[in-house]
Chain A
């Protein structure tokens, strides 16, 4: 059994080592897998902030992932084809700069999280699940009908955005960029969870009435967590676009929301980095079970049932000592 710190370190270094091995043996696919793990891990950890620590089971987090993806992709698309977007006060030419597109993705995701959260957080339990799902499905169907940006077929950006003078098309370079984002996200989430705010949020999960009697507004606490979570998920979405150089309505679909929840359950919701381990297990199962059988998702389902029944703290619960 490991302490949580050692667990986090081993997981992060393991992912880094996996991509380095891919580089050394000249197998870029390994690096792409590691990058995908990092990006999904970021989204999973962001969801875990509200699910594991705030008790809010969002079944619509794909919305923020997809919004981040679409915002970054649309900006890159316009930069590529030179077509401007007519905004009320100015014309926007798009951008091929990663940092700028991340910024846009985070701002848009935050805004949508604020709007969706301010309505959804008035509900709880199954109603919260359904209302977040409903919002996500609204954005999904909007994207399907948005033919200007590919509609159902999705939108390709062909090349990766730029970051300073780094050649982002090299898989290892792009992995390192995503890995750096993961480290920043880890720092932010770790800070939030260990702050006064994080502890009041945990209190809200257990006993909202008590929090009110302490003079705290659970609504504000939960909404703040929801917005932080949405913003980070949006960043993951923007990174995912750069990884695939493509975005489609699938990124906004309920299946994607379900996958994010699966990462949290697989990895364990009680630990900040549990979903990162969840992403590793999920991607590896997808790859290796996928090679053995076409019905790998059936076996994933079996594994999920076993984890929920016998290891409610997820795979990380087996490794980390309390």
Chain B
């Protein structure tokens, strides 16, 4: 069996906005080939935490470690170059470009300004086949030439995920990828994420409990900026603490 490696580690993360505490001594670890889900009620501080991991926000205290290196000092962009790739709560794609071009942007992201200026925006054969491979993976292969803004909500979510995958992440941070998807689309995405988590670790923030329970290897529950429980799906299902704090009833 492959050795489990710590990909992302948060130790003692604290963050306040004025008098409001949004993260209180948060510690968690995401290991290789694991999907670690973070759940919690609205306003619990989930998106703030993902922003601190991605580098958009800096924690007031605590250490963010990515692939055994402390990354607190690194910008969001530098963390992306280290393989920490995120998706957004609201579909974040380039609407005026085609689906293919959106993914090509993600493929070509590691370029210097000079290389960007002197190279045409076109794919060579290896880039093309990689883009099509990613499109196939997300069942978007028939939509390559479609302008992204004309896609359905579900396909936009898939395109965003495809862009993240095309960047060959070391860890994938997903912020509510199931938001607004219907039952059929959710089921497809669950199957897809099941296959992706075999290849790369995923840190998932999600409200859809059916999806979380189907996918997660480990769940942490955040409430008012504090992790109140962490463990396997069964442990979280049975936790009275979680039931009271999160739903006020059975999960």
List residues of A whose CB falls within 8 A of some B CB.
192, 194-200, 202-203, 206-207, 209-210, 212-217, 220-221, 224
Q: Let me know if B67 is at the binding interface, CB within 8 A.
A: no
Contacts A206-B94, A215-B167 known; A196 to B110 CB distance under 8 Å? no
Q: Let me know if B35 is at the binding interface, CB within 8 A.
A: no
Nearest chain A CB to B205's CB is how many angstroms away? Answer: 15
The reply to whether A194 and B54 form a contact with Cβ atoms under 8 Å apart is no
Number of interface residues of B (CB under 8 A): 33
The reply to whether A215 and B92 form a contact with Cβ atoms under 8 Å apart is no
The reply to whether A196 and B120 form a contact with Cβ atoms under 8 Å apart is yes
Within B109-154, which residues are at the interface with A (CB < 8 Å)?
A: 109-111, 113, 115-121
Residues of B within 8 A of A207 (CB): 92-94
The reply to whether A195 and B121 form a contact with Cβ atoms under 8 Å apart is yes
Which of B56, B95, B113, B163 is packed against the most chain A CB atoms within 10 Å? B113
The reply to whether A213 and B88 form a contact with Cβ atoms under 8 Å apart is yes
Residues of B within 8 A of A215 (CB): 77, 80-81, 109-110, 167
Q: Let me know if B71 is at the binding interface, CB within 8 A.
A: no
Residues of B within 8 A of A212 (CB): 56, 76-77, 80
| Distance, CA A75 to CA B93, complexed state (A) | 49
Contacts A214-B109, A214-B163 known; A202 to B120 CB distance under 8 Å? no
Which of A194, A200, A220 is packed against the most chain B CB atoms within 10 Å? A200
Contacts A207-B92, A210-B92 known; A202 to B97 CB distance under 8 Å? yes
Which of B116, B117, B118 is packed against the most chain A CB atoms within 10 Å? B116
The reply to whether A195 and B81 form a contact with Cβ atoms under 8 Å apart is no
Residues of B within 8 A of A213 (CB): 54, 76, 80, 85-88, 92
Q: Let me know if B70 is at the binding interface, CB within 8 A.
A: no
Q: Which 9 residue pairs of A and B lie closest in terms of their CB atoms, listed nearest first?
A: A215-B80, A197-B116, A196-B116, A199-B121, A214-B109, A210-B92, A197-B117, A215-B109, A203-B94
Nearest chain A CB to B128's CB is how many angstroms away? Answer: 15
Nearest chain A CB to B121's CB is how many angstroms away? Answer: 4
Q: A197-B117, A214-B163, A224-B117 are in contact. List 15 more A-B contacts (CB 8 A).
A: A195-B117, A195-B119, A195-B120, A196-B116, A196-B120, A199-B121, A202-B94, A202-B96, A203-B105, A206-B94, A206-B95, A209-B88, A212-B77, A213-B54, A214-B167
Interface string of B146-183 (1 = CB under 8 A from A): 00000000000000000100010000000000000000
A-B interface contact total, Cβ < 8 Å: 76
Closest chain B residue to A192 by CB distance? B117
Residues of B within 8 A of A224 (CB): 113, 117
Closest chain B residue to A210 by CB distance? B92
Nearest chain B CB to A302's CB is how many angstroms away? Answer: 31
The reply to whether B92 and A217 form a contact with Cβ atoms under 8 Å apart is no
Nearest chain B CB to A113's CB is how many angstroms away? Answer: 15
Contacts A210-B93, A216-B77 known; A196 to B88 CB distance under 8 Å? no
Contacts A214-B109, A214-B167, A224-B113 known; A198 to B77 CB distance under 8 Å? no
The reply to whether A199 and B113 form a contact with Cβ atoms under 8 Å apart is no
Q: Let me know if B235 is at the binding interface, CB within 8 A.
A: no
Closest chain B residue to A197 by CB distance? B116
Nearest chain A CB to B67's CB is how many angstroms away? Answer: 16
Q: Let me know if B106 is at the binding interface, CB within 8 A.
A: yes
The reply to whether B101 and A199 form a contact with Cβ atoms under 8 Å apart is yes
Residues of B within 8 A of A198 (CB): 121
Contacts A195-B121, A196-B120 known; A214 to B113 CB distance under 8 Å? no
Nearest chain B CB to A267's CB is how many angstroms away? Answer: 19
The reply to whether B116 and A200 form a contact with Cβ atoms under 8 Å apart is yes
Closest chain B residue to A270 by CB distance? B96
Residues of B within 8 A of A203 (CB): 94, 97, 105
Closest chain A residue to B121 by CB distance? A199
Contacts A214-B105, A215-B80 known; A209 to B96 CB distance under 8 Å? no
The reply to whether A200 and B105 form a contact with Cβ atoms under 8 Å apart is yes
| Distance, CA A217 to CA B86, complexed state (A) | 16
| Distance, CA A216 to CA B110, complexed state (A) | 8
The reply to whether B117 and A221 form a contact with Cβ atoms under 8 Å apart is no
Nearest chain A CB to B170's CB is how many angstroms away? Answer: 13
| Distance, CA A179 to CA B86, complexed state (A) | 48
Q: Let me know if B108 is at the binding interface, CB within 8 A.
A: yes
Nearest chain B CB to A118's CB is how many angstroms away? Answer: 14
| Distance, CA A48 to CA B85, complexed state (A) | 33
- What are 28 of the A-B contact pairs (CB < 8 Å)? A195-B117, A195-B119, A196-B116, A196-B119, A196-B121, A197-B113, A197-B116, A197-B117, A198-B121, A199-B97, A202-B96, A203-B105, A206-B94, A206-B95, A206-B96, A210-B92, A210-B93, A212-B56, A212-B77, A214-B105, A215-B80, A215-B81, A215-B109, A215-B167, A216-B77, A220-B113, A221-B113, A224-B117
